[in-house]
Structure 1
Amino acid sequence: MKSQFREMIENCPIICAIKDENGLQQCKDNDSEIVFILYGDICNIADIVKTVKSYGKLAMVHLDLIAGLSPKEVAVDFIRKYTQADGIITTKPALIKRAKELSLYTVLRFFVIDSMAFSNIERQLSAARPDLIEILPALMPKVLSRICKMTNIPVIAGGLVSEKEDIMELLDAGVACISSTNPAVWDL
């Protein structure tokens, strides 16, 4: 069952992530077999999942974003008991563990915003052992370029900068400067 999930991921270069009813409707005709549900509340999440499932797609509920659910294991129990969700997405390793106990697919999401967040990944992975991980942000130079173009406020780029090439890419993207906790970068 878990190997089938990984195979689906490998065969699905784009996963639909939906954040509202419009996205829910648009994902129907997409080739993606998997849908990340990033909205809802305890009153409507079962209906959202049911709609995704009616499209013949795998439904992954981002627990952290469902209004009315607590960041405790009982939230996973709720999703398992009251929805047809295939799995969960969360930033909380304890919820991943509970979901695995309930035979749900699991995605542990990381916001890699600096070197401290990056250094915690390995420890959390060994403790939670999710099926997949999701790293955010994915393409920082592109994202930073967009931000720089939409504002006149100078943009500082920080986090995970470790090589001169990183600095050059970020400066080319339009940032004003780079901040880093890595002393080796300070002299580049």
Structure 2
Amino acid sequence: MTQHGIVKLLCNGNVIPAPRNYEDFKYALEHSACPSVILLFGDINILPELLAQAREHKKRVLVHLDLLGGVGKDKAGIVFLARMGVAAVITTKPQLGKLARDAGMLVIHRLFLMDSEAIKTGANLLKGYKPDALELLPASIPASVITELANMTGLPILGGGLMHTQEDIAVAVRNGLMAVSASKRELW
């Protein structure tokens, strides 16, 4: 699948809703035209209900593994999520990304960039492991860094974090991000 094809699976514009609570999740399902929603909350007790609601609205659910409670961060936990119908995962851990790929899920590798050394460390993490996309945090990264990582990895580059206005999103996209995740309803 092409870079643009992956991004189209995730969003139909430049923003993927990333709700942090149940009320925002319901709002994203009902008011966002985006085909995907990133869960930044929850646990395995409410996940079946969230997945059922997403299916009713024809939405794909992406789970941030570090923020989902009650599921083992191992092969059994990943297979469990895949069988439940989780379409994609976001993770900072290559070993979990590999397991998710093996289970048939899309994988977005999240990379926190604080300095130049983080770029090298991130590129090294991706050796021997090819996620479907890379999400950089914060999304307000300089264009030169986005270009460097896109060239190094060959992956679609997404961004997340510190998006407060439509102008923030426009700048992030102009800088080279293919899309951003955002937690603020007014940005969806």
State the TM-score bracket (shorter-chain normalisation): 0.5 to 0.7
Q: Which among 65, 69, 74 is matched to residue 71 of structure 2?
A: 69
**1:78 aligned residue:** 80
Residue identity opposite 2:70 in structure 1: G
From the CA coordinates, give the structure whose radius of gyration is larger.
Answer: 1
The gaps in structure 1 that reach 5 residues or longer are: 144-188
Partner Cα distance (2:11, 2:61) in 1: 16
Q: Secondary structure at the match of 1:36?
A: strand
Deviations along 1:96-122, whole A, 9 cap, x unmatched? 111111111111111112233221121
Deviation at 1:140, TM superposition (A): 6.1
**2:101 aligned residue:** 100
Deviations along 1:33-73, whole A, 9 cap, x unmatched? 11111111121112112212221111111111011223323
Q: Secondary structure at the match of 1:128?
A: coil
Larger RCO of the pair (alpha carbons < 8 Å, separation 6+): 2
Cα RMSD (Å) of the superposition? 2.5
The count of aligned residue pairs is 143
Partner Cα distance (2:77, 2:93) in 1: 12
Q: Secondary structure at the match of 1:19?
A: coil
The gaps in structure 2 that reach 5 residues or longer are: 143-160, 163-188
**2:44 aligned residue:** 42
Query: Percent identity at matched positions?
Result: 26
8 A Cα contact 2:11 2:34, kept in partner: no
Q: List aligned pairs for 1:106-121, cutoff 5 A.
A: 106-121=107-122
If the length of structure 1 is used for normalisation, what is the TM-score? 0.68
If the length of structure 2 is used for normalisation, what is the TM-score? 0.68
